[in-house]
């Protein structure tokens, strides 16, 4: 098909290329061959800029955006590659917070179309190559690159970064990454490069040893953020941490709400310290403002994002056991005496038993689905939830579910929309 306009280009990307968000595991390529071929075809742009590589089960998006915001505040021209997007494909590729130009997207896809069709890359592989070429042409000083899935075999893992960051390890994508924390940690640890420092945010005994062994094998200095910083208190968006080495406290006002930022911010702080050690000039004021202005600087959304009040409506992209656990902790802290109304939809290739077991049975549930083939059907979600004593109603679209929740909720109640990036993307 022709790709002469931006709309035609998106249609080609979404419909003609295997896309994980649409078809799931069939789009996951278990080697880096296509990405390397694409990059080689366009002049290996991944070698033309410096980068930070971020992986992890949860928090990698927030950490990536925080880091990009801090680099911007420090005066560096900063690229940012993340996935998936919520509303606009161009959210995935930004420079200093500005989304990639539509013209670049069209020109890149049309220019590489015949070659790409000869090797048949996935949507993600082509998008990664596009991001790298854009960052090269924009002459960024630094690019923050978030992995898509895993690490070792992720398409982004063709870069040789200044620093590797792994936020944490939890059960997600077990059908592709492994069914134990050790196996998942092994895949994430695949981003650790030879003689390149690595920061790990949170660890467990069974994952810590995986990271230590990989770092030792690669001769890479390894730092655990939890050994350096401890969260002492938090009030709304203010987080106070103890620097264990200095014995001093530091308070940061976070542009991203959510209890889980108590883990993400220390990861960011240690990552910045490592970058400063490598010669990057970043001051405390840049860190403070970068954390505070992260939404304005990078456009991130969907992290405990309040979009309406009375009743409060919260968007959160939490979609696995650890993420939902954090959402529930936030609700208990902020809305202990309110009724909770959950609008939830999930994809069909993730085990939900551990998620559903966490949910309180005495609250209100509105089950829906995104309009992608990977979406779990609402009647199936209802049946699964019923097995855990949770009663909910079915809605064909997130907007219908939201209308129903608004009608049922009192002024002091809270409505939380979570479970998938893709149902949040369909909100209007």
Per the CB < 8 A criterion, the answer to whether 198 and 192 are in contact is yes
Give yes or no for a cis peptide into 311 (omega within 30° of 0). yes
Contacts of 313 (CB under 8 A, 6+ apart): 306, 307, 402, 414, 415, 417
- pTM value is 0.93
The pLDDT, as a whole number, for residue 23 is 43
Domain count, the chain: 2
Q: How far apart are the first and last CA of the chain?
A: 30
Helix/strand/coil (H/E/C) assignment for every residue in 186-224: HHHHHHCCCCCCEEECCCCHHHHHHHHHHHHHCCCCEEE
The pLDDT, as a whole number, for residue 28 is 53
Within-domain flag for 37: yes
Low-confidence ranges of the chain (pLDDT < 70): 1-2, 18-29, 172-176, 178
Domain end among 238, 264, 298 = 298
Within-domain flag for 140: yes
Rg (CA), the chain: 21
Residue 329 sits in the same domain as residue 408: yes
Per the CB < 8 A criterion, the answer to whether 284 and 290 are in contact is no
Parent domain of 329: 305-425
163-166, strands of its sheet edge to edge: 98-99, 93-95, 78-81, 142-146, 51-55, 163-166, 198-200, 222-224
Within-domain flag for 120: yes
Per the CB < 8 A criterion, the answer to whether 220 and 198 are in contact is yes
The pLDDT, as a whole number, for residue 27 is 45
Q: How far apart are CA 302 and CA 274, in angstroms?
A: 28
Contacts of 66 (CB under 8 A, 6+ apart): 256, 264, 265, 268, 290, 291, 294
Q: How far apart are CA 66 and CA 188, in angstroms?
A: 20
Give yes or no for a cis peptide into 137 (omega within 30° of 0). no
Q: Is the dihedral of CA 317, 319, 323, 327 positive or negative?
A: positive
Residue 123 sits in the same domain as residue 51: yes
Residue 350 sits in the same domain as residue 208: no
Length of the chain, please? 428
Residue 287 sits in the same domain as residue 397: no
The pLDDT, as a whole number, for residue 18 is 65
Residue 148 sits in the same domain as residue 227: yes
Within-domain flag for 136: yes
Helix intervals (H) in 59-122: 60-73, 102-119
Q: Three-state SS for 243? A: strand
Return the CATH number at 402.
Answer: 3.90.190.20
Q: How far apart are CA 4 and CA 107, in angstroms?
A: 8
Q: How far apart are CA 79 and CA 324, in angstroms?
A: 30
Domain end among 298, 316, 340 = 298
Which contiguous run of DSSP H or E holds residue 313?
A: strand 312-315
Return the CATH number at 176.
Answer: 3.40.1190.10
Helix/strand/coil (H/E/C) assignment for every residue in 258-283: CCCHHHHHHHHHHHHHHHHHCCCCCC
Domain end among 257, 279, 298 = 298
Residue 294 sits in the same domain as residue 309: no
């Amino acid at each position: 098909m022709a790709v002469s306009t931006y709309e035609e280009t998106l249609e080609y990307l979404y419909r003609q290329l295997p896309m994980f968000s649409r078809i799931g595991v069939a789009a996951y390529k278990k080697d880096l061959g296509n990405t390397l071929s694409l990059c080689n075809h366009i002049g290996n742009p991944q070698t033309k800029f410096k980068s930070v590589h971020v992986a992890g089960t949860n928090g990698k998006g927030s950490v990536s955006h925080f880091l990009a915001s801090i680099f911007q505040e420090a005066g560096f021209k900063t690229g940012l590659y993340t996935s998936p997007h919520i509303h606009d494909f161009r959210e995935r590729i930004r420079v200093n917070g500005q989304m990639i130009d539509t013209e670049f997207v069209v020109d890149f896809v049309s220019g590489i179309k015949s070659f790409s069709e000869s090797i048949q890359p996935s949507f993600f592989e082509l998008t990664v190559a596009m991001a790298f070429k854009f960052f090269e042409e924009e002459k960024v000083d630094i690019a923050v690159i978030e992995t898509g899935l895993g690490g070792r075999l992720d398409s982004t893992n063709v870069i040789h970064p200044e620093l590797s960051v792994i936020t944490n390890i939890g059960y997600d994508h077990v059908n592709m990454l492994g069914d134990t924390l050790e196996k998942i940690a092994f895949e994430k640890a695949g981003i650790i490069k030879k003689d390149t420092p690595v920061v790990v945010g949170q660890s467990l005994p069974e994952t810590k040893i995986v990271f230590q062994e990989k770092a030792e094998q690669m001769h890479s200095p390894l730092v655990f953020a939890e050994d350096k910083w401890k969260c002492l208190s938090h009030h709304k968006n203010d987080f106070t941490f103890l620097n264990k080495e200095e014995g001093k406290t530091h308070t940061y006002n976070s542009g991203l709400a959510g209890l889980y930022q108590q883990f993400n911010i220390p990861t960011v702080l240690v990552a910045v310290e490592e970058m400063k050690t490598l010669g990057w000039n970043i001051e405390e004021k840049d860190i403070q403002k970068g954390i505070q202005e992260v939404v304005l600087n990078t456009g991130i959304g969907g992290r405990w994002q309040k979009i309406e009040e009375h009743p409060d409506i919260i968007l959160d992209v939490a979609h696995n056991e650890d993420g939902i656990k954090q959402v529930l902790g936030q609700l208990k802290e902020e809305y202990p005496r309110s009724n909770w109304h959950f609008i939830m939809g999930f994809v069909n290739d993730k085990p939900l038993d551990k998620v559903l077991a966490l949910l309180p049975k005495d609250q209100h549930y509105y089950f829906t689905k995104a309009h992608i083939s990977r979406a779990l059907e609402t009647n199936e979600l209802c049946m699964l939830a019923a097995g855990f004593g949770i009663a909910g109603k079915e809605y064909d679209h997130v907007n219908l579910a939201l209308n129903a929740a608004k009608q049922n909720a009192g002024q002091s109640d809270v409505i939380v929309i979570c479970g998938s990036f893709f149902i949040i993307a369909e909100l209007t």
